[in-house]
Amino acid sequence: MTYATTVIIGAGQAGLAMSYELTALGIDHVILERGNIANSWRKDRWDSLRLLTPNWQTRMPGGAYTGPDANGFSHKDDFAMRLQSYADMHSLPVHTGIEVQSVTLGPFGYRVHTNTGHFDCRHVVVASGACARPAVPKLADCLPRNLPSFTTFDYKRPSDLPDGGVLVVGGSATGLQLARELQRSGRQVVLSVGEHVRVPRRYRGRDISWWLDTTGLMDRGYREVDDLARVRRTPSLQLAAGHETLDLNALQAEGVQVVGRLSAIRDRHALFSGALRNHCDLGDLKLGRLLDHFDNWAAKHGSERDLPRAQRPVPTQLPDAPRLTLDLSSGEVSSVLWATGYRTDHSFLNLPVFDRRGRLEHDGGIVTAAPGVYVMGLPFMRRRKSTFIDGVGADARDLAKDMTMQLSGAIAA
């Protein structure tokens, strides 16, 4: 039996940031990691992936970017190496190759069962990631059996797919990036798009990350929004690393065929929603409001001179009659790629902490049904940037503070 006050599950940016905070507070802890540090970045993403945020915004607590390319976008493997160096530099207590099998109640609070034994602890920090598994819709079961399909966890590079056309399902960052990569590999891509969040990569001479950060949107707290459940469900921004905008207009200019949300597969035909125009209108309107917000901010803060006026992006262009069907047995596409989002995997928590849909219930990362259990890295968990590398520091600080209050309460009692 091993005891630590706190057990952190997962050594990605969230787990490491929490470890940094606990180290600073002198709270003894361990980080349990099933693979190596930054395992998901190394193993569960596609080869070409680079961070969506510029290097200057990779601000881990006690580990800001100091390299030569502050406005560049790091490759995922380089970022993984930086996390490794971060853990080494701060001597964070990472135990690699330890797979957590379950978390139960234990003599001091909780017991974390692993493939190599168990840890008893007062606090558990679940930092296993918001993107632990690909989320694939149920209708995937209706695909013709002889049509190969891939998730974003299977897919590493275009050559993984058979030659020929490919249906990419998903209109957020992942779907758009992979549609572009596959189209450029010589495959005809049909991209199925539902509701999406369109943003320009740059506006008025600045990167979108600068705008979101500077105008305070990234710091917006979870108690400050009207409809938290809806905000937490909002899909990721349509973005790719680099200085160019990746949106449906850009993809169509490269030859990608855009179709509506995949609403059914019937008689070996994929059926697409006729609501594509409205989904694009919603995205364009939301984009307009975002840019209005930036313009208002610029006017209010007297930065008009530093921020040259820029054209608004043109509305999303679509064919007059986007296609509604695709015969999946015609050979037009020879594979399907599901870029339909990610989900958490908290199934190892053998505690009564889930809502009726099986989602972990928490209040800003504090799992109220199990005092001492915390979660990190979920969408809009404590603030908009909670899922961003730049957001884990502030969340870790808040949650670590809650932990110290718990500990001092325990001593006082």
For another protein, give the closer residue by CB, 138 or 305. Answer: 138
Nearer to another protein by Cβ, of 116 and 278: the residue is 278
Nearest CB to another protein, comparing residues 182 and 262: 262
Amino acid at 382: R
Assess 189 for contact with another protein (CB under 8 A). no
CA atoms of 324 and 276, how far apart (whole Å): 10
Q: Is 263 in the site for another protein (CB under 8 A)?
A: yes
Can you point out the beta strands (E) in 246-375? 257-259, 262-266, 269-272, 325-327, 333-338, 342-343, 373-375
Smallest separation, CB 283 to another protein (Å): 9
Query: Which is closer to another protein, CB of 63 or CB of 194?
Result: 194
**Residue 239 within binding range of another protein, rule CB under 8 A:** no
CB of 385 to another protein, least distance (A): 12
Q: How far is the CB of 53 from another protein (least distance, A)?
A: 16
Size of the site for another protein (CB under 8 A): 28
Taking CB under 8 A as the binding criterion, the range among 129-137, 164-172, 184-192, 256-264 that sits at the site for another protein is: 256-264
Q: Which of 67, 274, 358, 371 binds another protein (CB under 8 A)?
A: 274
**278 lies in the binding site for another protein (CB under 8 A):** yes
Query: Tell me, what amino acid is at 322?
Result: P
User: In Å, what is the CA distance from 257 to each residue of 147, 164, 324?
Assistant: 20, 14, 12
3-state helix, strand, coil in the chain (%, to 5): 30, 25, 45
Q: Are 165 and 257 in contact (CB under 8 A)?
A: no
Task: Report the SS3 class of residue 166.
Answer: strand
Return the residue of 225, 310, 369, 407 that touches another protein, per CB under 8 A: 225
- Binding piece for another protein, criterion CB under 8 A, among 81-89, 99-107, 241-249, 276-284: 276-284
Binding status of residue 260 toward another protein by CB under 8 A: yes
Closest CB 278 distance from another protein, rounded Å: 4
Stretch that binds another protein, among 27-35, 165-173, 228-236, 243-251 (CB under 8 A): 228-236
Residues 6+ apart with CB under 8 A from 17: 60, 61, 376, 392, 393, 395, 396
CA atoms within 13 A on the CB side of 44: 17
Please, is 75 exposed, middle or buried when counting C-beta atoms within 10 Å of its C-beta (0-12, 13-18, 19+)? middle
Q: Quick one: which of 253, 285, 299, 410 contacts another protein (CB under 8 A)?
A: 285
Q: Is 216 in the site for another protein (CB under 8 A)?
A: no
Between 142 and 407, CB nearer to another protein:
142
Q: Quick check: helix, strand or coil at residue 138?
A: helix
CA-based radius of gyration for the chain: 22
Q: Is the separation of the CB atoms in 399 and 393 below 8 Å?
A: no
Q: Per-residue contact track with another protein, 74 to 113, x per CB under 8 A? A: ----------------------------------------
* DSSP letters for 20-80: HHHHHHT--EEEEESSSTTHHHHHSS-TT-B-SS-GGG--BTTB---SS-TTS--BHHHHH
Is 301 among the residues that bind another protein (CB under 8 A)? no
Closer residue to another protein in complex, CB, 63/260: 260
Residue 341 lies near another protein (rule: CB under 8 A): no
Q: What is the DSSP letter of 230?
A: H
Q: Of residues 4, 16, 259, 271, which one binds another protein by CB under 8 A?
A: 271
Residues interacting with another protein, by CB under 8 A?
A: 195, 217, 225-227, 230-231, 234, 260-261, 263-264, 266, 271, 273-275, 278, 281-282, 285-286, 288-290, 293, 321, 356
